Structure 1
Amino acid sequence: MSLYRPLHDGWTVTAVSDERGIAGVPATVPGCVHTDLLAAGLIDDPYLDDNETRLTWIGRTTWAYETSFTWHAAGDGADRADLVCDGLDTVATVVLNGTEVAATANMHRSYRFPVRDLLREGANTLQVRFGSPYAYAEERKAELGPRPGPYDEPYQFIRKMACNFGWDWGPTLVTSGIWRPIGLHSWSGARVAAVRPVVTLDGGRGRVEAHVTVERAGRSEDPLVVTASVAGVFAETRLGPGEHEAVLTLEVPGPDPWWPRGYGGQPLYPLEVRLGQDDGAVADTWTRDIGFRSVRLDRTGEGFTIVVNDVPVFVRGANWIPDDCFPARVTGARLDDRLGQACDAGINLLRVWGGGLYESTDFYDRCDRRGLLVWQDFPFACAAYPEEEPFASEVEAEAREAVTRLAPHPSLVLWNGNNENIEGHADWGWREELGERTWGAGFYYDLLPRVVAELDPARPYWAGSPYSGAPGLPPNDPARGTIHIWDVWNREDYLRYGEYRPRFVAEFGFQGPPAYATLRRALTGGPPAVGSPALAHHQKAADGDAKLLRGLGAHLPAPTTFDDWHYLTQLNQARAVAFGIERFRSLAPYCMGTIMWQLNDCWPVVSWAAVDGDGRRKPLWYALRRVYADRLLTVQDAAVVVVNDTGAEWTGELSVARLSLAGEPLAKGTFPVSVPARGTLPVPLPASLAEAGDPAREVLTARLGEETALRFYAEDTQVAFPEAEFDVAAEPVPGGARVTVTARTLVRELALFPDRLDPAAEVDDMLVTLLPGAAATFLVRSPGELDLAALTAYPVLRCVNEAGR
């Protein structure tokens, strides 16, 4: 028999080491201290204003969670009863009926403790006491010696979500709590402790090696029968007395392959493992969906290409951070929204970044179903990590659990050892600071690859990012492996992307503010203002505000009001990232991937995200949808590059024209093109098109079928734009409004911001440039009635060359 009982009810939380008198506060499990105190009205929302700064005491406090539950031996009837803790954050002591069960210090692991002998008939009391994460980390730091990192925080000394301690986009909110489910599992005889399927596809034949681990209750030595089935194929083996491990191999002829989105379908097959006895009784079952596909990393010519089912995949990716500082608040519906936004933007891979978490099973399940590839960092980021005990054992235990847990997911295509730690050791002066102290090399070059090779041999492992493929090579070499590009944003204009010729870009990005409605919610003191302390608190990057303004450069005019600052810096973010992606896609197949920083935010903040902390799409998201489209035209130097990331040939006649700003043709050219599937074709332009007679008054356009491209010969601040003139009509439609803009002059980067009128409103398109006589229609969705006059006026309707600028 097997029975799982959640223990999520009746919890309270008490501050043990604080003098505020917080005791017996109702607590939600799964959850954390911050969300419990917020629900009780004992703290202000840490996402609003500068409330975060007054909550640092929470991470320096010892907290006790406690609940009571009833248990009856007769009703249980099991040989074993285990307390199963899927996630304890982080320095936890578990006490049942006054007896200490265990002490843990790793947020990234789950735990199972046998407690049958500690249970009492009737009422039982369970307490989980959480020590201060700061106290634990600072004690380890004092023992082992300091290690370099980007912030004055000790996150590398505790196995906990690093960005909990603050980042250049995130608040410092150091949590404690039971952050994943907890429950009592009663069972007899034997149970399936783990199943680790190694799934491959070769020559149209699928193969599953199901590695099954069985745990026996007490001294049970009964023979056991282990069966596995998938896609109508069945395998069986026996475990004799004392045996706990079995491998069942299933050969599946002709399964439908699982493909990344855009390459084919995502068929999933239930893999079922049963544990039974000779008399046919079933002791336990395990079921997960798997997909048949092969994956490898092609390093030909020092490149970096993810190959799925023998097809090279150009990665159109985004980095993923924890979607909330309090992960228990990330529901399945919220994941659906966020992953849907990724797919709708043309993204085919998410990199789960190393300063965060191994995400929930729900996350990977949804990626499986959507065909979203996952690159999984092990949780190490931007710092030197100690390799001494207890860290070495903790890292191996968490890695073994994570690799085993995530093995069934076809979406997972790469294990990555760390984020920027190899680069830090090589290029950031760490060696001098460290001396002979450890920094994590043993994890990235030995422990983690050994664990992956043993437990997940069908997936590639990469030691870190950026990384050139060997420890002795410069880690951030554009000609090898993966690189991160951060001179753009930190120091250089975004046109610098055009000077790069990388093999694979795993991080790059540019900042922009969140949506207006998001700022208004987060800053409660009135309309936001540039330079205000409230807005500054929601800018975590060093010198971030100055970099935003400096980044406008010659591209866009200097803002004079908050509304201009908001529009222009959002627009500049979109342009910068789009410029980089277009450049890197034009280099395919030499360059085989871009992973922009970043898809999402965890709170309302000025950041690199395309979707802000309230889930609203920034202008960058709309730009991503354009430059991550299956088919793309991009003007690079003196050529139009035709990018065809579809499975079919793209043929037609490319039409290119040099026009005056009034739309008058000055030169034209047509070029027959034939671009193979998954291919690129540069089409060189003659001087009559590549060069302008008057760069300030001309524009280049290109069209191939339904795809278009537009490039000005000069930066916007140097173009003699006419004052925008257009006709605009708005009409109500079910669920919102339809807005049609017809240009009488050139209209540059037309955008609608309906969230200024209704925080729930959103528009279907943005950043549209219209030539004279052209029209664009925008669909605005809103649950309420919109003011149509306000919808079609400043500051809701914007363009670069609007009247009065």
Structure 2
Amino acid sequence: MTDSITRPWTLSFRDPADGSPRTLPAQVPGNVLGDLFRAGLIPDPYWGSNSVALRPYEFVDWEYRTTFAAPALQPRERLQVVFEGIDTVADVFINGTCIGHAENMVIAHRFDIDTALLKADDNELVVKIRSSANAARDYRVPPASVATCDYNTEGLFLRRPMHTYGWDIAPRLVGAGLWRPAYIEVVKPERWTDLYLTTTHATPMSSRLLLRWNFASDRPTLMGYEGRLTMECRGHKFERRFPIYFTSGGFSFELPKAHLWHPLGSGAQNLYNVQIELIHDGQVVDTRTWRTGVRTIELHRTEILDAERKGEFVFIVNGRKIFIKGSNWVPSNAIHGEAPERIRQNLELFVDLGCNMVRCWGGSVYEDDAFYDFCDEHGLLVWQDFMFACEVPPQDEAFLARVRQEAEAVVCRLRNHPSLAIWSGDNECDEIFFYPPFRRHPPSTNRETREVLPQVVFRFDPNRDYLPSSPYLSDAVHRLQDRTRAPEQHLWGFRDSWKDRFYKENQAVFASEMGYHGMTNVESIRRFIPEEELNDRHGPAWVCHASQPFGVLNGPYSYRNTLMENQSRNFWGYLAEDLEEFMKCSQIAQAEAMKYFVELFRARKWDKTGLIWWNVIDCWPQFSDAVVDYYYVRKLAYYYI
């Protein structure tokens, strides 16, 4: 049983300008940047170059505070406080006593509450969050741990989204906060702790499933326990009682004439309501419910394209090859915890575009359960990266232990979703091993993706495929020093013109990134670029929304506006100076490019097995390759696709 914390929260900190103490109302779930803006203490981070001016807040420590009434407990029950998301390094206090420590933004944290600490009412809950920028200074970063850009280095040891330090699709906004729900939970002495239900064989006539369980009990013996599994879909009901002899166990069972789950465009998304009851001496002591789909998903792939450039990378669902028509998922909002309604709105665009797969890119967070529920309901296969992007992460034992803890939590939370098609170790980390000084080492040197993550997937989700990286560059590919020999590739190449032979002649069997810039609609630009800077395409505001941090006009991401101009110039033979004309020229060039990319893969179907293009929608107002801007204004390419 959960008890929401409904009393108001406050946020306290010292003003970075003068050190004076401040306290203001806090929104939970939320982000300190949202609270500061609502209180009028900072300008809109998305307007002009305002995000650059917020750097002093990166070095501030924060204190969230509220009170709660402790729920009444039955004998043998205990209490926990649960935070589904804390950004990031934090200590939690109840009535002045520290009860727990957190240092991972992307997983939930549970802390036991000693009832001796509690009062009848008005128990004080305090969360002290340390500056992420300062917390990162505690670590010595060795030369072999690198991020793509120097200003991402502080993200190497902290488990929080890399994009928050600045990325080519997101601003640098290093905030903090209780960004997902927080609540008090009553923990029963007898309860399911781990439930895994997976399909091992699926046909319309007969399917086979596997159930594995763990449960907790404080009884002196395990006599008198049994379980009951019920599954129901469209009038088809299955029930099975099973004996329990120990706190863990499982069994396989036949599900005759099952209603199968299919990806969008391949059949219906039939979902079974699953209920599993834990029974002791005839009394139900715990019940868990969820929805699942009966289906099998496999990835058939080869390590390398052979000398004739032949290889395999194809998804098989319910025994049939599926041609993948997907797009990449980036954060729904650059400031996590703010505007959660955008998640569903953004997913609806994927369905409207006819996508059958969404690739969750590894520079962000693992989305909440509602995201995967939507994908289950609408037939969107999920390619799930673990949260590493364009980096060689630390390889020391302490960090690997944190990664293992994170992966176990994420895999166990998401594995029962039928839409989840594949785990991928990271985004573009193998590629770093093709550049000095890492070129002398094979990609398998990365212990996160070659040891820790595959072990976790094998232990906790053994019926789902794991890909070490995207693109996965095997040691065999590395020995040739030829990334084009990988079956799955990210096709960025010569980006000034989609007519370049790089695209036409590519031999990739599957592309999981491929995109082209398109100018944001002018009515949207006016919502984030000041009037006096509208026509200065290389001025501070435009470069800031490119997205280049720190106000540096010639930084590593400032190229994006120049790239957008070059793409338009190469298509039309001239560069439009008028803003409206440039917008139209740029969007037509993007639309024609995206049309060509999609047709290139579909025309060679089964020689090429799918395209996950980049990307549907922006996470903040910017100039990018998305086909929908942050304000949900569609570019021309959206309609072409």
Q: Scaled by the length of structure 2, what TM-score is found? A: 0.90
Partner Cα distance (1:315, 1:462) in 2: 16
- What residue number does 1:578 align with? 595
Distance 1:177 1:583, change over 3 A: same
What are the superposed Cα offsets for residues 103-127 of structure 1, whole Å, 9 maximum, x if unpaired?
A: 1111121122221433222221111
2:455 to 441, 450, 463: 450
Structure 2 SS opposite 1:448: helix
Q: Deviations over 1:24-78 (max 9, x none)?
A: 21111111111111111111110111110111122221111111112264x6666
Match of 2:552 in 1: none
Of 361-370 and 511-520, more deviation after overlay is shown by 511-520
2:468 equivalent among 463, 480, 483: 463
1:612-691 mapped onto 2 (5 Å cutoff): 612-624=629-641
SS of corresponding position for 2:608: coil
Query: Where do 1:266-285 residues align within 5 Å?
Result: 266-278=269-281, 280-285=282-287
How far apart are the structure 2 equivalents of 1:381 and 1:219?
Answer: 48
User: Contact 1:16 / 1:64 at 8 angstroms: preserved in 2?
Assistant: no
Deviates more, 1:485-494 or 1:528-537: 485-494
Instruction: Please give the alpha-carbon distance, in whole angstroms, between the structure 1 residues aligned to 2:444 and 2:466.
Output: 20
Give the equivalent residue in structure 2 for 1:107: 105
Q: Which moved more, 1:537-546 or 1:40-49?
A: 537-546
Asked if the contact 1:469–1:481 (Cα under 8 Å) also holds between the matched residues in 2, the reply is: no
Q: State the 1:492 CA deviation.
A: 7.6
Provide the C-alpha distance between the structure 2 equivalents of 1:431 and 1:187, rounded to a whole number of angstroms.
Answer: 48
Answer whether contact 1:78 1:186 (CA < 8 A) is retained.
Answer: no
What is the match of residue 325 of structure 1?
334
Partner of 2:88: 90
Q: Take 2:251 and 2:288, find their aligned partners in 1: how far apart are those partners?
A: 14
The offset of 1:220, in angstroms, is 8.7
Q: Is residue 316 of structure 2 the alignment partner of residue 313 of structure 1? A: no
Structure 2 match to 1:251: 254
What is the rounded CA distance, in whole Å, between the counterparts of 2:59 and 2:482 in structure 1?
37
Q: CA deviation at 1:255?
A: 0.7
Query: For residues 375-417 of structure 1, what are the alpha-carbon distances to aligned partners after superposition, in whole Å with 9 as ceiling and x for unaligned?
Result: 0001110011002143211111111111111112111111111
Note the alpha carbon deviations across 1:10-31, whole angstroms, 9 max, x for none: 1111115844435321111111
What is the CA–CA distance in structure 2 between the aligned matches of 1:500 and 1:25, rounded to whole Å? 56
- 2:527 corresponds to 1:521: yes
Aligned to 1:391: 399
Which moves more between the two structures, 110-119 or 231-240?
A: 231-240
Look up the SS of the partner of 2:577 in the other structure.
coil
Indicate conservation of the 8 Å contact 1:233/1:250, yes or no.
no
Which amino acid in structure 2 is aligned with residue 70 of structure 1? A
Alignment of structure 1 residues 157-172 onto 2, 5 Å: 157-172=157-172
CA contact (8 A) 1:92 1:128 kept: yes
Distance 1:125 1:428, change over 3 A: same
- Cα–Cα, structure 1 residues 313 and 249, in superposed 2: closer, same or farther, change >3 Å? same
Say yes or no: does 1:298 pair with 2:296.
no
Residue number in structure 1 paired with 2:504: 498
Per the TM alignment, residue 269 of structure 1 is displaced from its structure 2 partner at its CA by: 0.1
Residues 417 and 244 of structure 1: CA distance in aligned 2, closer, same or farther (over 3 Å):
same
Cα distance change, pair 375–606 in 1 and its aligned pair in 2 (3 A)? same
Shift of 1:479: 4.4
Q: Following the alignment from structure 1 to structure 2, what is the Cα–Cα distance between the partners of residues 148 and 322?
A: 19
1:201–1:328 CA distance, 2 compared to 1 (3 A): farther
- Structure 2: how far apart are the matches of 1:238 and 1:588? 49
Higher RCO (CA 8 Å, separation ≥ 6 residues): 2
* 1:643-673 deviation per Cα after TM superposition (whole angstroms, max 9, x unaligned): xxxxxxxxxxxxxxxxxxxxxxxxxxxxxxx
The offset of 1:586, in angstroms, is 1.6
The aligned residue for residue 57 of structure 1 is 56
Given the superposition, is the C-alpha separation of residues 493 and 9 from structure 1 closer, same or farther in structure 2, using an over 3 Å criterion?
farther
Q: Distance in 2 between matches of 1:275 and 1:606?
A: 54
Deviation at 1:482, TM superposition (A): 0.7
Which of these two proteins has the greater Rg computed from alpha carbons?
Answer: 1
- Give the match for residue 155 of structure 2: 155
Instruction: Count the aligned residue pairs.
Output: 614
What is the identity, as a one-letter code, of the residue corresponding to 2:399?
Answer: F
Match of 1:487, SS state, is coil
Q: Matched residues in 2 for 1:476 and 1:323: separation?
A: 35
Tell me what 1:589 maps to.
Answer: 606
CA contact (8 A) 1:357 1:379 kept: yes
User: For residue 510 of structure 1, what is the aligned residue in structure 2?
Assistant: 516
Structure 2 residue aligned with 1:598:
615
Which residue does 2:628 correspond to in 1?
A: 611
Structure 2 counterpart of 1:235: 240
Aligned to 1:796: none
Equivalent residue, structure 2, for 1:47: 46
Instruction: Give the structure 2 partner of residue 38 of structure 1.
Output: 37
Q: Map 1:13-28 to 2 at 5 A.
A: 13-15=11-13, 18=16, 19-28=18-27
Specify whether residues 183 and 430 from structure 1 end up closer, same or farther in structure 2 by C-alpha distance, changes over 3 A only: farther
CA deviations 1:705-748 (Å, max 9, x no partner) are: xxxxxxxxxxxxxxxxxxxxxxxxxxxxxxxxxxxxxxxxxxxx
The residue aligned with 2:380 is 372
The residue type paired with residue 639 of structure 2 is Y
- In structure 1, what is the equivalent of residue 543 of structure 2? 536
Match in the other structure for 2:209: 208
Instruction: Give the Cα–Cα distance (whole angstroms) in 2 for the partners of residues 100 and 36 of structure 1.
Output: 25
Amino acid aligned to 1:415: W
Give the CA deviation at 1:142: 4.5
1:325 aligns to what SS in structure 2? Answer: coil
Q: Distance in 2 between matches of 1:416 and 1:475?
A: 22
- The corresponding residue for 2:446 is 441
Relative to structure 1, the CA distance from residue 518 to residue 65 in structure 2 (aligned partners, 3 Å threshold; closer, same or farther) is same
Instruction: Give the Cα–Cα distance (whole angstroms) in 2 for the partners of residues 530 and 494 of structure 1.
Output: 29
Q: Distance in 2 between matches of 1:439 and 1:216?
A: 42
CA–CA distance in structure 2, aligned partners of residues 406 and 127 of structure 1: 30
Cα deviation, residue 476, structure 1: 6.4
Q: TM-score if structure 1 supplies the norm length?
A: 0.72
Match of 1:428 among 432, 435, 438: 435
Structure 2 residue matching 1:336: 3-state secondary structure: helix
Q: Distance in 1 between matches of 2:525 and 2:516?
A: 19
- Is the Cα–Cα contact under 8 Å of residues 76 and 186 in structure 1 kept in the other structure? no
Q: Secondary structure at the match of 1:24?
A: strand
Q: CA RMSD in A?
A: 2.5
One-letter code aligned to 1:58: Y
1:463 alignment partner AA: P
Q: 2: distance between equivalents of 1:455 and 1:545?
A: 44
2:614 counterpart letter in structure 1: W
8 A Cα contact 1:8 1:181, kept in partner = no
Residue 430 of structure 1 deviates from its aligned partner by 4.2
Q: Aligned match of 1:355 in 357, 363, 366? A: 363
Check conservation: 2:376, 2:417, Cα contact below 8 A.
yes
Structure 1: gaps spanning 5 or more residues? 625-805
Task: State the shift of 1:366 in Å.
Answer: 0.5
Contact 2:444 2:450 (8 Å CA) reproduced: no
1:217/1:81 Cα in 2 relative to 1: closer, same or farther (>3 Å)? farther
The 3-state SS of whatever aligns with 1:590 is coil
Q: 1:475 and 1:11 mapped to 2: Cα distance?
A: 55
**Structure 2: 5+ residue runs without aligned partners?**
303-309, 548-556
Q: Is the CA contact 1:150–1:383 (under 8 Å) kept in the aligned structure 2?
A: no
